[in-house]
Structure formats: C-alpha cells, structure tokens
Amino acid sequence: MSAEAAVGREVLTYQENTLHTVFETLPVGVMLTDVQGVIQYVNPAFETATGYGRREVLGQTPRLFKSGEHSDQFFNDLWGQLREGRSFQGTIVNRKKTGELYWVEQTITPIRDGAGDLTHFVSVLQDITELRRRQEQEVQLRLAREVQQRFYGAAPELPGFDLGAAAYPAQETGGDYFDFIPMPNDCLAIVVGDVEGHGFGSALVMSLTRAYLRSFAAMGLGPDQILAQVNRMLVKDLESECFVTLALAHLDPKRRLLTYCGAGHVPGFVVGPWGDVACRLESSGPPLGLFSESTFTCLEPVSLEPGHVTVLLTDGITESASPDGTEFGNERTLQYIWAHHREPASQIADGLHRAAREFAFNEPQDDDTTSVIIKVDLEKPRSFLP
C-alpha cells in the first residue's frame, strides 16, 4: 500500500469513527438500513425511543415498529419515493416494544455510493408524542373555552330589575356556571352552579348540567322538581366521586317574588336597603349527581322590595384566602355588596371578584369564581302637580 493510500485510509477511518461518535451521542433516533430495508445500525436514542435493544432490531425491518395506523398504500408510496432517490419527511405513528403508540417526525434520506447507486437509507426520528398531546390538549381547551364563553351570555333586561353576572375560571376552562332561563308567565330561572374541581373535565360536566336544566325548565317545572330531575340524570352520567352544587332561583318579576331551591350550594343572600340581611338562601338538599332519590324543598318565596340586592355566588369567592389563611368569607362579601349597592349589577359582580382576588394578594387563582347579582330598582318618587 502506498503512503498516499495509507493516509487516505486513515482519513477515511477517522471520518467514519467521528461520524459514528456523532450518531451515538445524538439526542434523536438514527436508523440505518440497506436498500432492502434491513436494519444495520441504530443509535442509543433510537433504543430509548422504541424500547428495543440494538441486538433485537439488527437484521429486522421497520415493519417491527408498524402501528397499523397507516395504510399499505402509504408505505408503498414511501418506499417508492425512496427507491427513486427522493427523501421523505413526515409524521409517522410507530409502536414501541411495549405496544404503546408514539408519534415521530421522521426524515429518511437515500445514500448513494461513488457510482451513484443507492446503498442505504438513513432515518432520523424525533419523538413528538408529548408535543402532539400538548397541542391537542391546547386545541381542546381553546374550543371548550369558546363554547363555555358562549354560555356566559349577557344578563337579560327585566323591567324593574337590574341583573348582572361574572364568571372567572381558574384555568382555561372552569366548572362554575351561571344561566338565565326564560320560564312561563314571563318568569325567569336564575342558576349558579359549581362542578367539583375545575378544568376541562369540569367544563364538560357543566355543559351537560346546563343542557339538563334548560330542558326541564322548559317544561315549566318548579325549582325543586327541576333539581330532582337533573339529579337523576346526573347520577346516571357522572362518576361516583363527581358532583355538582347548584343554586336555582325562580323570579316572578310582576309580583317581585323570588323562590329559591339549593342543592348543596353555598348560601346566597338578599341584602336589604340598609345593609341588613333580609333573607339567607340556604340549600335544602345534597349536591347533584350523588344519590338518585335525593329530594329538594323550596324555601318560602321572598318578597323583593325596592333597593334589595340578591347575590348568588360560588365558594371560589368566599374561600379566597389571604397568605395567612384567612378567608374572604360571607361577611366581607356582604360588606362589599352594601358598600357598592348603588352601582350597576354587572359592576358589583365584577367588583366582587376583584375584591376577593385583592384580598388574596392576587396570588394565582386556585378556584373558579362566579356571582349573579339581582337588584330591585328603587321606586321613583311620585310628583304631585299643583
């Protein structure tokens, strides 16, 4: 062997060793096959991604990783493209040794020798399973939030009353719920609900609860009957540890009567024109979705007087806590309502959320907050003409 040939051989060996070292340390999977698709090399990252050891895959073909998610035509087209000397790049679903499916962003490049003949295919695989799952979750959350926000419509206009509501989910979606449902004889059902937990799953349960409530309310049932029917449906649908607390008020604006029925919900209040509590709206039955035969009883109808402010809310407001663990509580809620009772109902609802958050020093919100405010307009003084 001539000196020049020896030097060339050393250079080639050095390059091969360097390339091998690069492949061995790459954080992405590398697979080398011959033109028949027989695996001749995989790097450690490939072993980690697939769960197969190097000895298990050498001499095999990529069919070992076939997931069944792609058609035979897909692979026929892929191999046809490669044998024509064209690279492939795309997302493929493979199957690990454990049987688990995973997604890879894969680039397959044909390798030619000095004569231009195809000799090998080298594949570089990037596991994108977690990225894909996060993206899918983000899309689902965004769609769920868009649907949920459509549920939170503006409060209706009602002669003699001012209605307002505000909901602030702790996450992208929430389990709190409010609604205004038209009832027979120009009456209105007013709902505030709280699904156990928060997030995407709670938002789905909230949507289901809303659908049931609107369906049974359309039948003209009383609040106690509506809750009983919704409860029976939710018991069938929900898992054993999931439940919904609900405040349901029936408002007769002509007679200015409020009939209340609650299912395991935090109390609401009717605040008088001098800051006194004219009525405390307590639940008469357990949360919805727990017991199929639960019964509910309406409180005695409350006569709403001019200047009365009724608040229905979720525990995300009253349980907002300062750094020392002190909760915002009912007393501060009532104080806030009295201090701002002359403001529009929508401003009171928004302001109550802000006050609870400020009390908690604006620490990250750990629960959804929702409130509905029902104000009875002050009667205008009569004018006497001389």
Contact between residue 277 and residue 271 where contact means Cβ atoms under 8 Å apart: yes
**Both structure tokens of 154:** 């503006």
* Tokens of residue 246, six digits: 């609900």
CA 298, CA 261: separation in Å to the nearest integer?
Answer: 5
* pLDDT computed for residue 8 by the predictor: 39
Here the tokens at position 241 are 């540890």
**Can you tell me which residue has the tokens 């401003």?**
347
Q: Tell me, what's the pLDDT at 133?
A: 84
Report residue 68 as tokens.
């069944």
User: What are the φ/ψ torsions at residue 278 (nearest 5 degrees)?
Assistant: -75, -30
Ordered alpha helix ranges (H), 283-344: 315-318, 329-339
Which 3 state secondary structure label does DSSP give 199? coil
- Residue 371 to residue 316: CA distance in whole angstroms: 10
Distance of CA 6 to the CA centre of its chain: 66
User: Tokens 């690279």 — which residue?
Assistant: 87
Per-residue confidence (pLDDT) for residue 10, from 0 to 100: 46
Comparing CA positions, the residue from 39, 38, 18, 37 lying closest to residue 29 is 39
CB 177 within 8 A of CB 190: no
Contact 177, 193 (CB under 8 A): yes
Alpha helices in 124-185 (DSSP H): 129-151
Domain 3-127 identical in fold to domain 145-376: no
- Hey, is 343 helix, strand or coil? coil
pLDDT value of position 5: 45
CA distance 344 to 339: 12
So where are the chain's domains?
Answer: 3-127, 145-376
Cα separation of 205 and 318, whole Å?
Answer: 23
Compute the half-sphere exposure of residue 325: CA atoms within 13 Å on the CB side of its CA.
Answer: 0
Six token digits for residue 191: 């709902």
Q: Return the beta strands (E) in 213-256 as ranges.
A: 244-252
The reported pLDDT for the residue numbered 114 is 86
Structure token digits, residue 17: 């060793």
Judged on CB neighbours under 10 Å (0-12, 13-18, 19+), 367 is buried
pLDDT value, residue 349:
97
Average pLDDT, 10 consecutive residues per value, the chain (386 residues): 46 52 84 94 94 95 94 93 94 95 94 92 92 78 65 87 92 81 95 80 84 94 96 89 94 97 98 93 96 95 96 96 96 96 96 96 90 87 40
Superfamily name with CATH number, domain 3-127: PAS domain (3.30.450.20)
Write the DSSP assignment of 28-68 as a string of letters.
Answer: SEEEEEETT--EEEE-HHHHHHH---HHHHTT--GGGGB-S
Distance between CA 179 and CA 215 in Å, rounded? Answer: 13
For 8, 32, 111, 205, 229, the CA distances from 117, given in Å and listed in that order, are 22, 16, 8, 61, 75
Nearest CA to 50 out of 160, 125, 135 is that of 125
Q: Which helix (H) or strand (E) holds 7?
A: helix 3-25
Q: In one letter, which amino acid is 263? A: A
What is the third-level CATH fold of 145-376? Answer: Phosphatase 2c; domain 1 (3.60.40)
Report pLDDT for 172. Answer: 65
Distances in whole angstroms, Cα of residue 319 to Cα of each of 178, 316, 356: 18, 5, 9
